[in-house]
Amino acid sequence: MLKSIVFGAALSLASGALAQTVYTDRAAFLAAISNPATTTFNTITGDISVGGGETVEGYTFTGQTQVDSLIDAPVFEYNPVNGVDGTTYFSLGGLGNGSVFTVGLGGNFTAFGFDTHNYDATNERSEIFIGGLSLGLTPQLRGQTGFLGFVSSGSSFSSVSIVGRGSDVFNGFDNFTVGAAAAVPEAGSWVLLIAGFGLVGAAMRRRAHATA
């Protein structure tokens, strides 16, 4: 009987879900999701202008900038900028203050993350939103890179919004990763498991007392 209780508690741990969580570390983000799929854009060898609803490798790009928005392949449009990691990346050139650029994910997901890069000469930044929730800002200084990821416990989402937070923001994005929130223990599951262990401990104490 006691073994059945503990086993049932352990099974219940697998049915939990994550809360809504923002990540700034890719490794931690990947550890919190299942079935990740990453798009690097590295197979693209020539620049592709986007912003009018074009779909590139499953992602749809919609919005306007003051200069250009493109999938930027080496040699890069903005030298000496070297992309996010030296490979083809999504470049936003001159995103206006408050202007919104939307990236459609090509499906519904509960996890998304990407690498970010600030190549703005005056250190202007953009803010990332999913479902109205801010993931935070791109890196503070020119030449810096970072990561922003989001995992949802319930509702899925199908797009990411990039909002300008300067007069003409120049930022880059790469290594787009989608996936699903991995199951984690719920609070009730932990209570059940602890209760099960408590019953086992009590039984062992009774057995020891009976044989003493």
Residue scoring higher pLDDT (65 or 199): 65
Residue 152 φ/ψ, nearest 5 degrees: -105, 140
Kindly report the length of the chain.
Answer: 212
Residue scoring higher pLDDT (180 or 7): 180
Nearest residue to 96 (alpha-carbon basis) of 46, 171, 40? 171
At residue 200 the predicted structure's pLDDT band, cuts being 50, 70 and 90, is: very low
Cα–Cα dist 112/176, whole Å: 7
- At 14 the pLDDT is 36
Find the mean pLDDT for residues 169-177. Answer: 98
Whether 180 has a pLDDT exceeding 60, the answer reads yes
- At 183 the pLDDT is 80
- At 16 the pLDDT is 42
What token pair was written down for 201?
A: 């401990």
The answer to which of 90-94, 151-155, 207-211 has the lowest mean pLDDT is 207-211
What residue spans of the chain are helical by DSSP H? 2-13, 26-31, 187-211
What pLDDT digit, counting tens, does each position of 71-93 carry? Answer: 999 999 886 678 899 999 999 99
Q: Quote the percentage of the chain above a pLDDT of 90.
A: 72
pTM of the model: 0.79
Cα–Cα dist 165/209, whole Å: 70
The secondary structure of the chain as a DSSP string is: -HHHHHHHHHHHHTT--PPPEEES-HHHHHHTEEEEEEE--TT--S-EE-BEEEEETTEEEE---SSEEEEEPSSPSSTT--TTTSS-EEEEEEEPTT-EEEEEEEEEESEEEEEEEE--TT---EEEEETTEEEEEPPSSTT-EEEEEEE-SS--EEEEEEEE-SSSEEEEEEEEEEEEEPP---HHHHHHHHHHHHHHHHHHHHHHHHH-
Q: Quote the percentage of the chain above a pLDDT of 70.
A: 77
Nearest residue to 60 (alpha-carbon basis) of 103, 123, 89? 103
Whether 100 has a pLDDT exceeding 80, the answer reads yes
Cα–Cα dist 122/115, whole Å: 20
Whether 34 has a pLDDT exceeding 80, the answer reads yes
